[in-house]
């Protein structure tokens, strides 16, 4: 008799708490390792752009000079490939899903001023060294290249 | 469980041999599995896969044809191929002749004609 | 002979939230011919192979289907791994098997629920989906996503399932097993169910072979075909035999999927018992693929076919996914002929159509 098969379940349901949650009041609980959204600890980022190149959707933008990392959360498919690819391991997959919104917008993370200043310093240093090396090369080449230039003409 | 090592055979044939080979495979107990097309270096590569469900062997017939070349339909021998051939015709622009139920570009209700096929501009 | 008229079925239909359109030629109440057309949501995923490199394609392949996404990712990865000739670590192969079977369970439960809904048994629909919810929670616990796993990569898997989580899987499966037994007895014994499913849409073994149907749909008609017998992932180390029925009607299709749920539970338990302790879950893959391979995997809906052709470049020349539903459409049209018009919705449902994944 198939009719009474659900009697135990029906009785249970009578005394059970509702399976649903009162959502905005009661926050959902996600298990650890749930792929919700990508976050970055931006100060460790070296702006290499690996994540932006790896992203299957092209949702990421990295600006080395401005020190920013931009994500279009509405394009992000939360696959976690950028997290895998990051050489500094400064990208993380966090719990909690992307909330809906009235319009598509991007979220930009900027490095803190100290880090930016330090990077700027480094870049200047590198540029100075490069310029010095170039000058030295030019000076060295200047002596030798004259015959070569004449040949070219 | 006894492990089945799949026999993955690929046989390149000419267009004129297609029907003969298909018939031979069907007679030897193979079942039609799938057909697909690929546009590689301006030539159409059509693959017809047959599998034997007794020992899970896979036998693939491959024909390489020019985009304008007429290819006979195998639907008279294998009715299952009807939608594959319609697909190859609609998406890749393969000229498959005498399909049993020719849907005339009505299988895929898409705006663009032969989206994966040879582009008109390339052809010129 | 009555007057013939054409009734359009779909692309929007209450039974079937999937965009397939079938022109039904009817004579009185009988269908005499069915002509399908698809392509309403064609996405051109296959042609994305020209733009994304073969590693990114894993995520594209996975998103072919929302229900059997794991198996799509796995099938694609296995075919690229075959081209590379790499051996995936044993633990990774077991993990793939566990995830594949979990997603098979979730897909079959979804289908059983939809079937119950299709013939108007709302209560049974909710009971099926209640169990499915538990499986989905397991997905999120182990892989991080409820439907899209994103754990496959070329050369292995990216996430390990720890011991505690494996035990959690076993615990949930025990619960699900008990609840499934109740549902099984309803599906197999209830008068409402039997009167709607028995003897409807019968296809013989010869017809199935002729029309190239695959998966539970083919197994319900006595065709002993199950691609898991190929022994990909860790199936070669597990013991199982394909479930086959000889009736070939809607009830047999329901029977096959119901029994496969129990088979999946058994397979997962066996896989968790045999999973090796090693830490390694991926092997590095260097360079670009060069070659081509045809790969077949058994999805909840049947045999899916992957064809990958590469020529030593990061971009693939061609990726082809033949989804099981595409192979089942000719047999569906054959089945619709000579059926009653009232059964059409149910018959379309019994092939477990996934039209959106057919529209790669």
Q: Is residue B18 part of a domain?
A: yes
Whether residues B6 and C296 touch (CB distance < 8 A) is answered with yes
**DSSP string of C44-107, one letter each residue:** -TGGGGGTSBTTHHHHHHHTT-SSSHHHHHHHHHHHHHHHHTPPPPHHHHHHHHHHHHHHHHHH
Specify the DSSP element, H or E, that contains C334: helix C324-336
How far is Cα C258 from Cα C300, in angstroms, rounded to an integer?
A: 12
The per-residue pLDDT string of chain C (360 residues; one tens digit each, 9 = 90 and over) reads 678 888 888 787 777 777 888 888 888 888 888 888 777 777 878 778 778 888 888 888 888 887 888 888 888 888 888 888 888 888 888 888 999 899 899 989 988 888 888 887 888 888 888 888 888 888 888 888 888 888 888 888 888 888 888 888 899 999 889 888 888 888 888 888 888 888 888 888 888 888 888 888 888 888 888 888 877 878 888 888 888 888 888 888 888 889 999 999 999 999 888 888 887 788 888 878 888 888 888 888 888 888 888 888 888 888 888 888 888 888 888 888 878 888 888 888 888 778 777 777
Number of domains in chain C: 1
Which among A2, A5, A34 has CB closest to C144? Answer: A34
Of A6, A31, A35, the CB nearest to C150: A35
Partners of B9 in beta bridges: B59
Quick check: is C40 in a domain?
no
3-class DSSP state of C297: strand
Residue C242 in any domain: the answer is: yes
Find out whether C61 and C43 touch, Cβ atoms under 8 Å. Answer: no
Q: What are the chain C neighbours of B74 within 8 Å (beta carbons)?
A: none
Distance CA B56, CA B4 (A): 7
Query: In this complex, which of C212, C307, C309 lies closest to B32 when CB atoms are compared?
Result: C212
Q: Which H or E run contains C275?
A: none
Report yes or no: C184 at the B interface, CB cutoff 8 Å.
no
Helical segments of C199-285, H only = 205-211, 215-219, 250-274
pLDDT value, residue A151: 47
Interface check B57 vs C, CB under 8 A: no
Residue C50 lies in a domain: yes
The answer for B9, left when phi > 0, alpha when psi is -120 to 50, beta otherwise, is beta
Find out whether B62 and B12 touch, Cβ atoms under 8 Å: yes
C229 inside domain: yes
Question: Within a domain: residue C191?
Answer: yes
Nearest CB neighbour to C294, from listed B56, B60, B80: B60
* Pair type for strands C302-311 and A60-63: unpaired
Tell me if B109 and C21 make a contact (CB, 8 A cut-off).
yes
Asked if A13 is an interface residue toward chain C (Cβ–Cβ < 8 A), one would say: no
Distance from CA of A64 to the nearest CA of C (A): 24
Q: Domains of chain A: which residue ranges?
A: 16-111, 112-153
Please state the domain count of chain B: 1
Task: Give the separation between CA B86 and CA C297, rounded to whole angstroms.
Answer: 24
- Say whether residue A97 is in contact with chain C using an 8 A CB cutoff: no
Is B123 a domain residue?
no
- Report the alpha-carbon distance of residue B32 to residue B82 in Å, rounded: 11
Q: Can you tell me the distance from the alpha carbon of C306 to that of C309, in angstroms, rounded to the nearest whole number?
A: 10
Q: What is the CATH number of domain A16-111?
A: 3.30.70.3270
B38 found inside a domain = yes
Say if C239 is an interface residue toward chain B (CB within 8 Å): yes
Strand partners, A115: none
Backbone dihedral region for residue C65 (phi beyond 0: left; psi -120 to 50: alpha; all else: beta): beta
DSSP secondary structure, A5-68, as one string: GGHHHHHHHHHSPPSS--TTTS---PPTT---EEEE-GGG-----HHHHH-TT--EEEETTTTE
Asked if the structure places residue C120 within a domain, the reply is yes
- Answer whether C44 touches B (CB < 8 Å): yes
* Chains B and A touching, counted as 3 or more CB pairs less than 8 Å apart: no
User: What count of Cα atoms within 13 Å lies in the side-chain half-sphere of residue C81?
Assistant: 24
Q: Tell me which chains share at least 3 CB pairs under 8 Å with chain A.
A: C
Q: Smallest Cα–Cα separation from C318: which of A98, A65, B5, B37? A: B37
CATH number at residue C255: 1.10.645.10
- In this complex, the residue of C236, C240, C317 whose CB is nearest that of residue B38 is C317
Report the C-alpha gap between C4 and C82 in whole angstroms: 52
At residue A2, the pLDDT reads: 52
Please check the confidence at residue B3 and state whether its pLDDT lies above 70: no
**Residue-range definition of the domain harbouring residue C121:** 45-293+311-322
Euclidean distance between CA atoms B45 and B48, whole angstroms: 10
Query: Average pLDDT for consecutive 10-residue bins of chain A (153 residues)?
Result: 70 83 84 84 84 86 84 85 86 83 83 82 86 85 60 46
In contact, C346 and C198? CB cutoff 8 Å? no
Domain span at B106: 8-117
Residues of C in contact with A30 (CB under 8 A): 140
C205 lies within 8 A of chain B by CB: no
Chain A partners within 8 Å of C55 (Cβ): 54, 81
Domain containing residue B13: CATH number:
3.30.460.80
Give the DSSP per-residue string, A112-139. -HHHHHHHHHHHHHHHHHHHHHHHHHHH
pLDDT computed for residue B123 by the predictor: 41
């Amino acid at each position: 008799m198939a009719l009474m098969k659900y009697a135990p379940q029906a009785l249970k349901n009578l005394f059970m708490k509702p399976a649903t949650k009162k959502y905005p009041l009661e926050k959902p609980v996600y298990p650890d390792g749930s792929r919700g959204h990508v976050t970055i600890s931006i100060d460790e980022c070296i702006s290499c752009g690996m994540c932006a190149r790896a992203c299957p959707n092209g949702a990421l933008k990295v600006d080395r000079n401005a020190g920013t990392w931009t994500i279009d959360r509405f394009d992000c498919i939360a696959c976690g490939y950028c997290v895998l690819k990051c050489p500094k391991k400064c990208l993380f997959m966090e719990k909690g899903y992307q909330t809906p919104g009235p319009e598509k917008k991007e979220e930009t993370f900027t490095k803190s001023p100290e880090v930016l200043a330090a990077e700027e310093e480094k870049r200047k240093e590198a540029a100075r060294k490069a310029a010095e090396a170039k000058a030295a090369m030019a000076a060295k080449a200047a002596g030798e290249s004259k015959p070569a230039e004449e040949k070219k003409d | 469980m006894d492990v089945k090592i799949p026999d993955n055979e690929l046989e390149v044939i000419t267009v004129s041999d297609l029907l003969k080979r298909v018939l031979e495979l069907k007679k030897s107990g193979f079942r039609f599995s799938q057909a697909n097309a690929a546009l590689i270096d301006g030539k159409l590569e059509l693959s017809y896969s047959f599998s034997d469900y007794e020992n899970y062997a896979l036998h693939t017939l491959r024909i390489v044809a020019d985009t304008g070349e007429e290819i006979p339909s195998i639907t008279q021998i294998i009715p299952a191929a009807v939608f594959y051939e319609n697909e190859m015709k609609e998406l890749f622009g393969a000229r498959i002749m005498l399909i049993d139920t020719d849907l005339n570009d009505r299988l895929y209700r898409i705006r663009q004609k032969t989206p994966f096929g040879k582009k008109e501009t390339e052809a010129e | 002979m009555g007057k013939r008229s054409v009734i359009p079925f779909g692309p929007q239909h209450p039974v079937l939230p999937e965009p397939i359109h079938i022109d039904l030629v009817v004579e009185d109440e009988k269908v005499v011919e069915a002509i399908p057309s698809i392509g309403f949501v064609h996405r051109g995923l296959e042609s994305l192979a020209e733009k994304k490199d073969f590693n990114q394609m894993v995520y594209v392949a996975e998103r072919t289907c929302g229900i059997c996404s794991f198996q799509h990712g796995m099938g694609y990865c296995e075919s690229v791994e075959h081209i590379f000739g790499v051996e995936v670590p044993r633990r990774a192969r077991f993990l793939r098997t566990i995830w594949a079977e979990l997603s098979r369970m979730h897909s079959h439960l979804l289908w059983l629920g939809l079937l119950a809904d299709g013939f108007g048994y709302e209560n049974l629909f909710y009971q099926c989906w209640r169990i499915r919810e538990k499986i989905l929670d397991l997905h999120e616990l182990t892989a991080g996503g409820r439907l899209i796993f994103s754990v496959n990569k070329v050369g292995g898997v990216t996430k390990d399932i720890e011991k505690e989580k494996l035990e959690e899987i076993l615990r949930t499966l025990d619960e699900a097993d008990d609840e499934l037994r109740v549902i099984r007895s309803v599906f197999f014994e209830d008068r409402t169910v039997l009167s709607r499913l028995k003897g409807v849409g019968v296809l013989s073994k010869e017809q199935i072979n002729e029309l190239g149907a695959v998966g539970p749909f083919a197994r319900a008609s006595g065709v002993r075909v199950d691609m898991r017998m190929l022994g990909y992932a860790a199936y070669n180390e597990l013991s199982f035999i394909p479930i086959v029925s000889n009736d070939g009607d809607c009830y047999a299709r329901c029977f096959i999927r119901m029994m496969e749920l129990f088979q999946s539970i058994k397979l997962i338990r066996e896989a968790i018992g045999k999973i090796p302790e090693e830490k390694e879950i991926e092997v590095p893959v260097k360079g670009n693929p060069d070659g081509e391979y045809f790969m077949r995997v058994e999805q909840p809906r049947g045999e899916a076919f992957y064809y990958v052709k590469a020529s030593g470049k990061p971009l693939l020349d061609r990726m082809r996914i033949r989804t099981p539903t595409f192979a089942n459409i000719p047999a569906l049209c054959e089945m619709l002929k000579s059926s009653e018009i009232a059964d059409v919705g149910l018959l379309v449902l019994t092939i477990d159509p996934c039209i959106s994944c057919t529209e790669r």
